[in-house]
Amino acid sequence: MVSVEIISQEDDMMTVLFKDSDRALLNAVRRNLMGHIPKMAIDTVRFQMGTYDQCIKCEHLNPAGVARRTAGGTGCSKCDAAFEKEGEDYIVWETNYAIPDEMIAQRLAMIPVPTDTEAYSFEESCPDCKDLVDEDRGCPTCNMIYTLRAFGAEGGRTITARDLTFLGDDSGNVPEAYRDIPITILHEGQMIELWATARMGYGVNHAKWSTTAGVTFEPRQIASISNDKRAKILFDMGLRISKKDFKDGKLEDIDKVSDLKKDLHNVGAGTGLSDDFDDAITLEDVKGEYLLSFETDGSMTPAEALNSAFNRLAERFSAIKEDIDHVIA
């Protein structure tokens, strides 16, 4: 029976050892990690366009010109402050910036937002939306709404994911480690205001719904010394691995074998030492054992991503079994 052992785990990276397995299963897990894990991502963005007069007293935004005394206005629509002189009574802002709206929307889509598959569902399976036509779907059970209103400054101000505000509790905020992702730069007189909607999807349909990156697997290997004298060429370099790391001429520790592979580049082809070294240390695959490594984009932990991939794989295998049973019944 296949067994899984966590070798290393960080905030967004994980390495797992599979035993009694084969390449077909590892490749299935790899494909599920990349494209079949449910994930929240910003899918639609609505931009507010126009020019506004911001009241210096209460910071309320008024449509351009409407509140100005010179245009017949009566002042700020919120606090009634008189709009007589620009820069003293009000500041003019325009939703005009260097980066096109389409590019900003694309950047927003790639910002990792938290994914809670227990709290949210797909629009097509949402209890409140599944019976509606596509354009009418979208509710707090299947959508997450973010807003962004930011203003420029003299010399330019970088607008980042930190400026995104989730309309809900703190669980929907962009993780702290990713809040410095840049969105655009606003200069004096420029502002941006938008509403962004995130929904659930799969990475197989778009990269914004792909939770993981750098998903790789390889056979687990052990190292053996076949010639002590020639192996000394590598050990004398004082790199990561020494002779004392080997037990009875073998090195089985996964991390140390990984370091050894890096060391062996110093005596490989093109170094001028390959003939003298002559494969004094060899690497051998361990039958049925594979190392799977991947990292997440921050929308969920590596453990959550791996468990989700396993669950999705189990569902697909179960569906195939049911189809086969139906055919041969």
pLDDT in the model for residue 111: 96
pLDDT of residue 326: 77
Q: What is the maximum span of the chain, computed from C-alpha positions, in angstroms?
A: 95
> Where do the domains of the chain lie?
3-37+213-295, 40-48+104-145+156-208
The pLDDT value recorded for residue 135 is: 87
For residue 126, report the phi and psi dihedrals to the nearest 5 degrees: -65, 130
Amino acid 327: pLDDT: 82
Domain 3-37+213-295 has CATH 3.40.50.970: no
CB count in 10 Å sphere of residue 166:
18
User: Is 244 in a helix, a strand, or coil?
Assistant: helix
pLDDT at 322: 81
Output phi, psi for 150, to 5 deg. Answer: -145, 155
Between CA 51 and CA 63 the distance in angstroms is: 7
For 189, left (φ over 0), alpha (ψ -120 to 50), or beta? left
SS3 content of the chain, % helix, strand, coil (to 5): 30, 30, 35
Distances (CA, A) of 102 to 50, 57, 75, 79, 163: 17, 34, 35, 36, 18
pLDDT of residue 329: 67
Global confidence as pTM: 0.83
CATH superfamily of 40-48+104-145+156-208: DNA-directed RNA polymerase, insert domain (2.170.120.12)
User: Mean pLDDT of successive 10-residue segments in the chain (329 residues)?
Assistant: 92 95 95 95 95 92 86 86 89 91 96 93 92 91 96 94 94 93 95 96 95 95 95 95 94 96 94 93 96 95 94 86 79
> Please, where are the H alpha helices in 73-146?
101-110
Distance, CA of 43 to CA of 154 (rounded, Å): 32
Q: On the CB side of 120, how many CA atoms lie within 13 Å of its CA?
A: 23
| Alpha-carbon distances, residue 61 vs 52, 155, 204 (angstroms) | 6, 23, 42
Give the number of C-alpha atoms closer than 13 A to the C-alpha of residue 290, restricted to the C-beta side: 17
